[in-house]
Structure 1
């Protein structure tokens, strides 16, 4: 639905898509408030050691680079085809963008969004009717001191991502017995076993759970550490025996346009074949229960399947993917895929509410940053009712103008 500037837009999430969306909106004359439960790019900072699958040119925009060049003439960008780490991307692009004149005054850090709803209409009222958009959207957020604030807006862009919501390790996707208590003691996602986490995993017995690209990355890291610290041992459990037509559990796309992704998947699978004494792969195995023993710092993990039994580990790394948190949007009219919780369409039944970025893909791990940037372009063409609006477009060359 078309909304003319200077309307008010609330953006949830100060990650890459939230910051880029804010810049796009401010350039078009909209008023913007960005709410984030932490700081700008919090999950990029957590994964700062990880090299991005896609080159820098796929993770920046013409608009962003122009804004930075105007404000920081001496700022140098990575090369277009360079595969930078998340830390480099954060320091050399996203943080300067968040601190630029058009964006800096929009960001409210440490504001956790509790709810997004209509001002005077419940979820069940006026489905698909024009009057649904006649009352503003209200976003309730809690700051670091515990004070609650209400932000009224014409539009809400949910760019909150999925990084704060890891999947559970139970075999059916629900929490394993004891997981909710033990979860604060084990790591979810990506570790830095070659850097700041090396001492934590060196000469330890570590359980890695999962068969995706995060798991593959962690297996490669830990195997490299094991070659330097000989008492390091890794047990890798996966639900399936092997990926289709592969020698290991991680899917490898033969014609993968992202060579970094293919390399990590292939390397992890090869480590299973090599059987170097530091890595055991236990296929067709899931977690039934987990108990953390604070006196010893050990995990007692009950497994079921091909390698059933109770086993003890020093460390546990859960690399089982992420899911979107839709708690804040329970009062909105959304149309989500029942399998992945992804959006079925960029335009939702709830007028002027959009889910962008990795959250829009739900549990589907195929999301790339370039997908989110394309969503920004499309959303603002809808909001502005200008089909050809594209602030990311390159100007036509002189030869094309001739």
Structure 2
């Protein structure tokens, strides 16, 4: 059954998919409240120095570009085939889009969502029955001053991503002993080893944990720093020995449609072969415990496996992936994959609640922004009960804008 405008939609998360979803909804005449725990694109800003795997044209939409063209005399967007950094993407596309007329008044920054639930039904009531969708959804959020706010809506789109909840470094995915206390003192994202983080990492003993593309990015950056500052040494710990057919632990997809990603994986693996005393790879090894010593800012790390032992490091960088924050969804009826914590279907048992973007993929890191755009298109076709509704479609006879 269609939910007609001007119904109220709450969108959680002011990243790429949240901003695009809000724009899509506003264009269709819905009332929108967009909540974010920080500023627009805060997660993108954290790795703003890193070049994106996909070209600009794959990370914007025809609708978004049209909104910018209507708002600004010269949006000065990058060419479609240009690989911009996350910071450039935020400054040139996402931030201006968030400040455009259709979106600007919807955004409530620094509102952390605590819970999403039904106004008068608990999780246990009316599973699969029409009555479940007859009461509004209630989103409880807390602002910077600690004040709580309740937002009642017909629909909620959770586009909050996974960047705020890194996985734990323990061998089985649980916290290593001492990790909860030490975690505020180590890094879990992409560092800027040639820029703002150079002084903190130069001439330090550094532990990098993980074998994904974030770890590969940090290894490549730190390797450059280590060649420029001779006392810098990097120890790279991975559960894996070598990826299938590779010289190192990072999987290289031979027919990868994203050449930048393939190049990064190959480069990180090759550094193990070419290392000149500044990089050690310790495979088949996990973290058993970690203790941060505040007096000298050192980490004492107990490793298990092939390189078992107690070691001391000045810096720890943990790139072991992310998981979705499901705590705020505890009172909703969801059907999630037991393997990834992602959704099995865009349509959930909870009426008019949708998970979009990277959070919908859970722990599956294969998500691309283009997947999120397609989800937006599909979810509004469902909401409006209009199978052919597609605001991203190119009008007949016009040139391709995206």
With normalisation by structure 2, the TM-score equals 0.98
Distance 2:351 2:50 in 1: 38
- Secondary structure of the residue that 2:381 maps to in structure 1? helix
Distance 2:45 2:269 in 1: 28
Instruction: String of CA shifts for 1:265-315, please: whole Å, max 9, x gaps.
Output: 000000011131100000000000000000011000000000001000000
Aligned to 2:153: 153
Distance 1:396 1:265 in 2: 40
Distance 2:175 2:187 in 1: 15
Aligned to 2:289: 289
How far has the Cα of 1:88 moved from its partner?
0.3
Distance 2:4 2:148 in 1: 29
State whether structure 2 residue 58 is matched by structure 1 residue 58.
Answer: yes
- Secondary structure of the residue that 1:188 maps to in structure 2? coil
For residues 341-356 of structure 1, the aligned pairs below 5 Å read 341-356=341-356
For residues 208-227 of structure 1, the aligned pairs below 5 Å read 208-227=208-227
Which runs of no fewer than 5 residues in structure 2 stay unpaired?
none
Distance 2:379 2:228 in 1: 50
Aligned to 2:40: 40
How far has the Cα of 1:119 moved from its partner?
0.5
For residues 187-226 of structure 1, the aligned pairs below 5 Å read 187-226=187-226
- Secondary structure of the residue that 1:296 maps to in structure 2? coil
Instruction: String of CA shifts for 1:73-105, please: whole Å, max 9, x gaps.
Output: 122000000000000000000000000000000
Conserved 8 A contact 1:204-1:233: yes
Aligned to 1:396: 396
Conserved 8 A contact 1:39-1:109: yes
Aligned to 1:280: 280
Instruction: String of CA shifts for 1:101-160, please: whole Å, max 9, x gaps.
Output: 000000000100000000101100000001100000000001111110110000000000
How far has the Cα of 1:398 moved from its partner?
7.2
Distance 1:225 1:237 in 2: 19
- Secondary structure of the residue that 1:227 maps to in structure 2? helix
State whether structure 2 residue 315 is matched by structure 1 residue 318.
Answer: no
Conserved 8 A contact 1:189-1:321: no
Distance 1:270 1:276 in 2: 12
Instruction: String of CA shifts for 1:47-88, please: whole Å, max 9, x gaps.
Output: 100100000011000000000011101220000000000000
Conserved 8 A contact 1:189-1:320: no
Instruction: String of CA shifts for 1:356-394, please: whole Å, max 9, x gaps.
Output: 000000000000000000000000000000000000011
How far has the Cα of 1:247 moved from its partner?
1.1
Kindly tell me: are residues 136 and 255 of structure 1, through their superposed partners in 2, closer, same or farther at Cα, counting changes over 3 Å? same
Aligned length: 399
Aligned to 2:184: 184
Distance 1:133 1:43 in 2: 33
Instruction: String of CA shifts for 1:324-377, please: whole Å, max 9, x gaps.
Output: 000100000000000100100000000000000000000000000000000000
Distance 2:195 2:261 in 1: 20
- Secondary structure of the residue that 1:150 maps to in structure 2? strand
Aligned to 1:86: 86
Distance 1:163 1:61 in 2: 23
Which runs of no fewer than 5 residues in structure 1 stay unpaired?
none
Aligned to 2:71: 71
**Alignment RMSD:** 0.9
Aligned to 1:11: 11
Instruction: String of CA shifts for 1:214-261, please: whole Å, max 9, x gaps.
Output: 000000000011111111100000001001111110000011110110
For residues 253-268 of structure 1, the aligned pairs below 5 Å read 253-268=253-268
How far has the Cα of 1:396 moved from its partner?
1.7
